[in-house]
Amino acid sequence: MNYNWDWGIFFKSTGIGSEIYLDWFVTGFGWTLAVALAAWTVALALGALLGVLRTVPNRWLSGFASSYVEIFRNVPLLVQLFLWYFLVPDLLPEPLELWFKQDLSPATSAYLSVVVCLGLFTAARVCEQVRTGIQALPKGQTAAARAMGFSLAQIYRYVLLPQAFRIIIPPLTSEFLNIFKNSAVASLIGLMELLAQTKQTAEFSANLFEAFTLATLIYFVLNMGLMLLMRQVEKKVAVPGLLSVGGK
């Protein structure tokens, strides 16, 4: 088993059309970004809503939100993905089921499943962060807002959420980075994202060390880049005088 190192492998033809291996990585990276960003949008919106529900003074609503969190946090991501991809389409009403199984291309249906799965999975984590953020605010804030005649919706809208979101940026950042890493599970239902393309390159070219090194590098640079970016955002929106709550 002699190994032929060849770092030029990425510029060689894959033997399929006129593609070079680098094209595969570019496509894969595109899918990874598309999955992560779409899922993050879902996670942030739903997570914020659930986070609010967890803190409102209503037992049913907060009970619902905390059951959601427990369920989505305690089932492995892969099991959730299989359920979304294999089981849920069968449970849809027939026109929708046919549309999902026949009209959509395999890539699109896998993409939709992953986005829904990752979005709902991450929403549970975002919910916990939002809750922590809201609860970290001094109780006087709510009391003062109520004394000024704010309704509950107004208290959240104008007083609690604007502050909570700014102090939870560091933990939210790490969830944001996690969603990029977690999107790799999409390769297991056949979506050709970065990891799947890497595996394919390793199998086609037999230059597995080069392929995996490049993939690792892409994930690493992406992670570091996003982290630096979020640090800038964090500085920009820091609440004066509230730094101590923000994990500093």
Partner 1 sequence: MDFSAILPAMPGLVDGMLMTLKLLLLGVLGGVSLGTLLALMRLSHNPLLSKLAGLYVNYFRSIPLLLVITWFYFAVPFILRWVTGEDTPVGAFTSCLVAFMMFEAAYFCEIVRAGIQAIPKGQMGAAQALGMSYGQCMRLVILPQAFRKMTPLLLQQSIILFQDTSLVYTVGLMDFLNAARSRGDIIGQPYEFLIFAGLVYFTVSFAAAQLVKLLQKRLAV
Q: Where are the beta strands (DSSP E) in 18-154?
A: none
- Candidates 31, 68, 156, 219; binder of partner 1 (CB under 8 A) is 219
CB 182 within 8 A of CB 123: no
CB 206 within 8 A of CB 16: no
Tokens representing 106? 């395999």
CB of 133 to partner 1, least distance (A): 20
CB of 142 to partner 1, least distance (A): 26
CB 183 within 8 A of CB 30: no
Q: Which is nearer to partner 1, 5 or 60 (CB)?
A: 5
- Candidates 55, 113, 163, 182; binder of partner 1 (CB under 8 A) is 182
Q: Which is nearer to partner 1, 166 or 193 (CB)?
A: 193
Q: Is residue 195 at the binding interface for partner 1, with CB under 8 A as the rule?
A: yes
Q: Is residue 204 at the binding interface for partner 1, with CB under 8 A as the rule?
A: no
Q: Going by C-beta distance under 8 Å and a sequence separation of 6 or more, which residues neighbour residue 96?
A: none
Q: Is residue 202 at the binding interface for partner 1, with CB under 8 A as the rule?
A: yes
Q: Which is nearer to partner 1, 112 or 202 (CB)?
A: 202
- Residue written as tokens 């923000």? 246
Angstrom distance (rounded) from CA 224 to CA 226: 6
State which of positions 53-112 bind partner 1 (CB under 8 A).
70-71, 73-80, 82-83, 86-87, 90
Angstrom distance (rounded) from CA 134 to CA 157: 12
Angstrom distance (rounded) from CA 176 to CA 218: 16
Residues within the interface to partner 1 (CB under 8 A): 1, 3, 70-71, 73-80, 82-83, 86-87, 90, 177, 181-185, 187-188, 195, 198-199, 202, 208-209, 212, 215-216, 219-220, 222-224
